[in-house]
Structure 1
Amino acid sequence: MAPHTHAEPMLLWASTTSVTLRTVSHDWLVPPGHGLWIPGRVEHTGTTRHAGELCVIRFMATRCPIDWAQPTGVAVGPLLRELIRYLRAEPDAASRRHAEALLFEVLRPLPAHSIQVPMPAEPRLRTITERLIDSPGDQRELAMWAAEVHSGVRTLSRLFLAETGLTFSQWRTRVRVRAAVGHLATGTSVKATARAVGYRKPSAFIAAFQRVTGQTPGTYGGE
C-alpha cells in the first residue's frame, strides 16, 4: 500500500492477523488481539502479514476528544472489543454517538509502544523476526531458526547485532515483553502472561520484564 493520509482519526484492531504500520519516522507492529490508534492526517502505510480478521473504525474529527499526536498502541479488552464490533456492524445506528463516547472513555494507551523493537531488513532475519512477533511464545533457539532459513548460527548472530543493535536473545526478550504488556493490560495474570509469551517460570518472566521496562509486571495491570 502506498503512503497515504486520512482526515479522520481511526482505530485499527488486529483481531487475528498481524499488521505493520509505517510512518516517516517509525514502525508500529500490531500483533493479534491488539489495537492501534491512528490520528488523522498522519501519513502512513500498512501491511498485513497473514490472513485473519482486521477491523478499522473511523471517527469524525470534530467529535473525537483523543488528541494523541502519533499512532499509539491500545489495550483491547472485552468491552472495547464489543464496542468495535458494534460500530463495525452498525455504522449508521442512532446510538453511534453514545457508543463512540463510551469507546473514547475506555480507550487507554499501552506503554508497549515505548518498548522499541528494531526490525531488520535482511530477508532471513525478517522471516525469523516476523514469525516471532506473531508467536512470541515460540521456544526455538537461533540454531533451529538457522536450519529453517538455511543459514549458519554465526552468520545470523552477526547479522542480528549489525541490523538491530541487539543479540537474538535480547531482541526476542523485547518482543516477549512488549506482547506481555498487552496481556497484562487486559487483566491476564502474571503467570498466564508468562506462559503466553514463552516463559516456563514466572520468576524468569518477571526478571526479564524488569530488565526491559524497569518495572514489575504488576505495574501494567497483571496480578
Structure 2
Amino acid sequence: MPRTDNRRLPRYTAGEVDVPYAVSGHGEVLELDTVWAEHSHPTHELLWNERGVSSARVGARIWSVTPKLGLWIPAGVPHSGRAPAGTWHRAAQFRVGSAPGPAPEPVAVEMTPLLCLLLERLGTEHLAPEARERTELMVTDVLTPAAGEFFLTLPKAPLLAPIVAALREDPADGTTLRAWAGRLGVSTRTITRAFVGETGLTFSAWSALARVQHAMTLLARGERVDEVAEQVGYSSASAFGTAFRRATGMGPGQFRPR
C-alpha cells in the first residue's frame, strides 16, 4: 500500500462549471498522508478540518488549516495542499455570484461553532429548498475574515533557497545566520535584507515561524509536546511553548487531539 495518496485535480476558471447549489460541501477522513497537486476550482472554496492540521499553498504562502481556522480560496485561484493521515478534512464550495465572500483574495476564516453547524446542516439529505436557501444566506452572513491568520511566506530569492530547503527538510536544523552567511559567501546583513524584503521577517523570525508550522502538524497527530519541541529544534518544552504562543496566540497543547 502506498504511503502517500497523490491526487490530481483539473484547473478551472471561475464560474466555468455550473453547480446545483449556492453552497455545497463534503468531508473525508484521510487514511493516508495526502497531497493535492496544484489545481483550481470553478467555485469559491472554504477549507477547514474537523480534526487535524493541514496546509494549503497559494502562490508563495503556505497557510495552516485547522478546526478553528479555515481558508477561503476564491474561484479560479491555483492552489495545492497537504494533509497527514488521520485528518478529518472538510471543504465547502460556493457558487460564483451567490455571495461576495469574505474577501476577493485568499484569507483565513474563523470557523465559529455557528458557521460549522450551518455548513453541517447543508450536508443534510432531503433538506427542503426553502430551508437550504435560508441556511445558505446565513452561512454567507457569518462568513467573515478571522482576526488573525497563520501562514508562512516562502522567499523566492535564489540566495535563500538553501536555507529554506534545509529548514523545510529538517525544522530542527540549528544553523545560525552567521554560519549560513559563511556557507553562502555573503554577509549576515545581506541575508537579513533578503528575508525582510521578501517575507517581512528576519531570518530568526522566519525560522521560528517555519518550525511552529511544522510543529502544528506533529501536535495534531497526537505527539507529546516535549517530543515535538525536540523535533523542531528547541532545547526545552518551555522554550518551545513560548515561541509557539508568540506565533499562534495559543499553547501547543490546544493543537493536540482531544
**Does the pair score TM above 0.5?**
yes
Match of 1:28 in 2: 62
Match of 1:142 among 163, 177, 185: 177
Match of 2:91 among 66, 73, 87: 66
1:125 paired with 2:160, answer: yes
**What is the CA deviation profile of residues 155-210 of structure 1, one whole-angstrom value per residue up to 9, with x for unaligned ones?**
11122222211111111110111111100111000000001111111110001011
Give how far 1:68 is off: 6.2
Match of 1:218 in 2: 253
Helix, strand or coil at the partner of 1:67: strand
**What is the CA deviation profile of residues 71-114 of structure 1, one whole-angstrom value per residue up to 9, with x for unaligned ones?**
99xxxxxxxxxxxxxxxxxxxxxxxxxxxxxxxxxxxxxxxx94
Cα 1:202–1:65 change in 2 (3 A) is closer
Over 3 Å off, 4+ runs: 3-7, 9-12, 19-23, 37-43, 68-72
Helix, strand or coil at the partner of 2:62: strand
Match of 2:197 in 1: 162
Give how far 1:150 is off: 2.4
TM-score, normalised on structure 2? 0.49
Match of 2:236 among 176, 201, 208: 201
Cα 1:68–1:199 change in 2 (3 A) is farther
Aligned length: 157
Query: Is the contact between residue 39 and residue 68 of structure 1 (CA under 8 Å) also seen in structure 2?
Result: no
Unaligned 5+ segments in structure 2 are: 1-9, 18-25, 36-54, 65-70, 84-88, 95-105, 109-147
Unaligned 5+ segments in structure 1 are: 31-36, 48-53, 56-63, 73-112
Cα 1:216–1:20 change in 2 (3 A) is closer
State percent identity of aligned pairs.
29
Give the partner amino acid of 1:44. P
Give the partner amino acid of 2:216. V
Larger Rg: 2
Match of 2:215 in 1: 180
Question: What is the CA RMSD across the aligned residues, in angstroms?
Answer: 4.2
Give the partner amino acid of 1:28. I
TM-score, normalised on structure 1? 0.55
d(CA) in 2 for partners of 1:135 and 1:65? 29
Give the partner amino acid of 1:27. R
Q: Indicate the structure with greater strand content.
A: 2
d(CA) in 1 for partners of 2:213 and 2:180? 21
